[in-house]
Amino acid sequence: MKINRRHMLSLSAGAALFSIAGHRSAWADVPAAEKRIMDFAGGKTPASGKITLTAPEIAENGNTVPISVNVESAMTGGDMVDSVIIVADGNPNPEVATFHFTALSGTAVATTRMRLAKTQNVIAVAKMADGSVFMDKKEVKVTIGGCGG
């Protein structure tokens, strides 16, 4: 009785990738997402750790995908998160949102819902008050519904 939907998913994802291949030029590609991250990071290479991006492994519908970020920080004095960007490397444009935190935020935690045009990576990058940058990345598989999807 174990769930065995990977085969179905890979078939659907394959179809999805194929169907947009003809319009490739209109879509963000990995370098566009990388450029956005580099601009935000001020040329630094983001380190791993500190930031956790939570996203579903499989989104039931790409139009509404819940995502959360959580950055470890005391949010006082020098240990502050300035901002977090969310980037999607397979959308028409890589930008998704930029969160700005303050001392009144208490924690650097935020949740929203985003659109994913296809299976792709969602990337969250945090910039700390001291200029250091941290990154987390999750691949989200976007399924194609059978029914009006």
Partner 1 sequence: MKRLSVLLLVSVASISGLAVMAYADPVDDTLTIDDREMIIRAKAPKGHPFDEVLSGWLFRESETRATEADSFANPGMLAVERGEELWNTVDGSMGKSCSSCHNDASATMKDVGAHFPKWDAKARKPVNIEMKINDCRTERMGAEPYKFDAEEQVALTTYIKHQSLGTPVQIDLSEGEMQSWWEKGKELYYTRTGQLDFSCASCHEKSMGKFIRADHLSQGQVNGFPTYRFNTAGMVSLHNRFRGCIRDTRAEMPKAFSDELMALEVYVTWRGTGLSVETPAVRQ
Partner 2 sequence: MAAQPKPRIKVPKEAKAGEVVSIKTLISHEMESGQRKDKDGKVIPRKIINKFACEFNGTPVFSCDIDPAISANPYFEFSAKLTESGTFKFTWIDDDGAIYTDEQKITVN
Chain contacts with partner 2 (rule: CB under 8 A): 63-65, 68, 75, 88, 91-93, 95-107, 109-116
Decide whether 75 or 135 has the Cβ nearer to partner 2.
75
The encoded tokens of residue 101 equal 């935190």
In Å, how far are 55, 83, 85 from 131, measured between CA atoms?
A: 26, 10, 14
Contact of residue 69 among partner 1, partner 2, none (CB under 5-8 Å per partner type): none
Q: By CB under 8 A, name the one of 34, 38, 52, 56 that touches partner 1.
A: 56
- Calculate ∠ Cα 72-76-79, nearest 5°: 50
- Through-space distance between the first and last CA atoms of the chain, rounded to whole angstroms: 26
CA separation for the pair 33, 127 (Å, rounded): 16
Choose the binding region for partner 1 from 33-41, 44-52, 64-72, 130-138 (rule: CB under 8 A): 64-72
Q: Which residues in this chain contact partner 1 in the complex, by CB under 8 A? A: 1, 3-5, 7-9, 11-12, 14-15, 18-19, 21-22, 56, 58-61, 63-66, 143-149
